[in-house]
Amino acid sequence: MFHVKHSPHILLINPWITDFAAYNLWARPLGLLSLAGLLRANGFRITLIDCLDFHVVRKKYGDGKFYKTKIEKPDPLKLIPRNYSQYGIPEEMVLKRLSSVEEKPDLIGITSGMTYWYPGVFKAIEITKKLFHDVPIVLGGIYANLCFDHAKRHSGADIVFKSGDEREVLKLISELTGYQLRTPCLSGRQANSDLRTETYPAFDLYPHLDYVCLSTSRGCPYRCTYCATPVLTKGFVRRDPVKVAEEIGYWTTHYPVTDIAFYDDALLVEASKHIIPILTEVIQRGIQCNFHTPNALHIREMDEEVAGLLFRAGFKTIRLGFETSNETIQSETGGKVDNQELRRAVKYLKRAGYSGEEIGVYVMAGLPGQKAEEVEESIAFVREVGARPILVEYSPIPHTPLFEKAKEISAFDLENEPLFHNNSILPCQWEGFTIDDYRRLKEELRRRE
């Protein structure tokens, strides 16, 4: 521990993405920005460097292409016959920004996203270490949580932080800087409240803000075997619907924000207590904004009222988490949906005003032991109910129940090398579902669009 007398300066970094492909679906480092907001409210001074804040092509709703720089593939991926890139601000520009940080930080906090994006995280650690060699670096985020041991061994960060709880982070940073928190938010009544409702994520640190992302809840009551949410978040907590509507109003009134993406894992669950009051407030307040749900909605919860409110409130990108039409797999993987529920949800959404093309339904490809025919059948089923199938490749995630099966089946060393969790390489491909099968299905989908 070291001691800082007044108002410590914290440098927060969102590293580059390193991948075969990446598309900006309203990506913002929500966890890091929430921490920035909380730290600021506690008197810390914050500098943010978001290596991804560099759009090349911006589409109508704010999503778009990242700038990319082709880079050498990491050794474990050498045999994959595809280009590999670093997405985001060119490295020289990031170095320039880092060198022009006016005051040496007292602590550096770096976040991490997908487990297989760690090379960008390591690079961010390496260059900040060179510039600020005696400043402690704390690494947090999804990779740090899911691949804690790997991150501790290889990342070069001084501290790898595992918990997903903001109170723990505040406590850690307060201890590391010797700086007393202003709000006694680590004990008493506040310890049970949701800190994210008291301060907003620090989106205002961006020079140009036309979209933000929002989380109205944390966790999910389901337990799907392929999903990391139950691992990352214990329990299921929701924010007060009126406060959520206030936050939406805040961003759309004080900033030129026209688009908001929901990052919730379970936005529609118990709709009458949550999404219905949120949307009713949004409509009553006359908030004009386009909303997007890239992280998928629960099909089971979609009824006539919810569908109607989504449409009236301005939800433009509707994505439904279906994954498969195979009923055995549906129930084996957690039973979050069945085929009749999809049929019904699409009917309600169409009645509300959406066209079939606007209703995107995620179909999972490459689950351990899954056959190509099963994916084809699922795609056909989504078409038959009148919606648009969107193929998503399975990413095996440590600590999830399905990871064990994935490890048995995969030809890649999933246990020791997070780069192999990359959905793009189809980690669980086998003779029943090959890369060629996948390409054929993808091509068929593309031809019909």
Binding site for ligand B12 (CB under 6 A): 19, 22, 25, 27-32, 34-35, 109-111, 113-116, 138, 140-142, 145, 161, 164, 166, 169, 215, 227-229, 232, 263, 265, 294-295, 392-393, 395, 397, 421, 423
Instruction: Report the nearest approach of ligand SF4 to the CB of residue 229 (Å).
Output: 4
Q: Is 222 in the site for ligand SF4 (CB under 6 A)?
A: yes
Q: Is 225 in the site for ligand SF4 (CB under 6 A)?
A: no
3-state SS assignment for residue 36: helix
User: 398, 226 in Cβ contact below 8 A?
Assistant: no
From the list 163, 190, 197, 229, which residue makes contact with ligand SF4 (rule: CB under 6 A)? 229
Owner of token pair 């936050």: 247
Instruction: Report the nearest approach of ligand SF4 to the CB of residue 264 (Å).
Output: 9
Could you give the CA distance from residue 449 to residue 441 in angstroms, rounded to a whole number? 13
Instruction: Report the nearest approach of ligand SF4 to the CB of residue 295 (Å).
Output: 8
Picked from ligand B12, ligand SF4, none, the partner binding residue 222 (CB below 5 to 8 A depending on kind) is ligand SF4
Q: Give 38 or 220: the residue with its C-beta nearer to ligand SF4.
A: 220
In Å, what is the CA distance from 249 to each residue of 55, 140, 205, 236, 259? 25, 30, 18, 25, 12
**How many residues belong to the site for ligand SF4 (CB under 6 A)?**
12
- The span of 26-34, 222-230, 281-289, 397-405 binding ligand SF4 (CB under 6 A) equals 222-230
Q: Give 26 or 348: the residue with its C-beta nearer to ligand B12.
A: 26
Of 69, 66, 255, nearest in space to 247 by CA: 255
- The span of 32-40, 49-57, 219-227, 417-425 binding ligand SF4 (CB under 6 A) equals 219-227
Amino acid code (one letter) for 205? L
Could you give the CA distance from residue 327 to residue 342 in angstroms, rounded to a whole number? 12
| Residue 29 tokens, joined | 């480092």
In the region spanning residues 326 to 385, those forming contacts with ligand SF4, defined by CB under 6 A, are: 334, 336
| Binding mask of the shown chain, residues 286 to 325, with x at each position contacting ligand SF4 by CB under 6 A | -----------------------------------x----
Picked from ligand B12, ligand SF4, none, the partner binding residue 223 (CB below 5 to 8 A depending on kind) is ligand SF4
In Å, what is the CA distance from 243 to each residue of 78, 197, 381? 49, 7, 39
Picked from ligand B12, ligand SF4, none, the partner binding residue 330 (CB below 5 to 8 A depending on kind) is none
Could you give the CA distance from residue 409 to residue 430 in angstroms, rounded to a whole number? 8
> According to DSSP H, which parts of 132-268 are helical?
142-146, 148-154, 166-177, 195-198, 229-232, 241-254
Q: Is 143 in the site for ligand SF4 (CB under 6 A)?
A: no
In Å, what is the CA distance from 263 to each residue of 216, 269, 376? 8, 14, 28
From the list 45, 223, 316, 407, which residue makes contact with ligand SF4 (rule: CB under 6 A)? 223
Picked from ligand SF4, ligand B12, none, the partner binding residue 398 (CB below 5 to 8 A depending on kind) is none
Picked from ligand SF4, ligand B12, none, the partner binding residue 113 (CB below 5 to 8 A depending on kind) is ligand B12
CB atoms under 10 Å from CB of 181, counted, come to: 18
Enumerate helices (H) and strands (E) in the chain, giving the number of each.
16, 18
User: 75, 119 in Cβ contact below 8 A?
Assistant: no
Pair type for strands 237-238 and 159-160: unpaired
In the region spanning residues 236 to 275, those forming contacts with ligand SF4, defined by CB under 6 A, are: 265-266
Q: Is 164 in the site for ligand SF4 (CB under 6 A)?
A: no
Picked from ligand SF4, ligand B12, none, the partner binding residue 336 (CB below 5 to 8 A depending on kind) is ligand SF4
H or E, element range at 122: helix 118-131
Q: Give 52 or 224: the residue with its C-beta nearer to ligand SF4.
A: 224
User: 135, 125 in Cβ contact below 8 A?
Assistant: no
From the list 41, 227, 261, 382, which residue makes contact with ligand SF4 (rule: CB under 6 A)? 227
Residue ranges that bind ligand SF4, judged by CB under 6 A:
220, 222-224, 227, 229-230, 265-266, 321, 334, 336
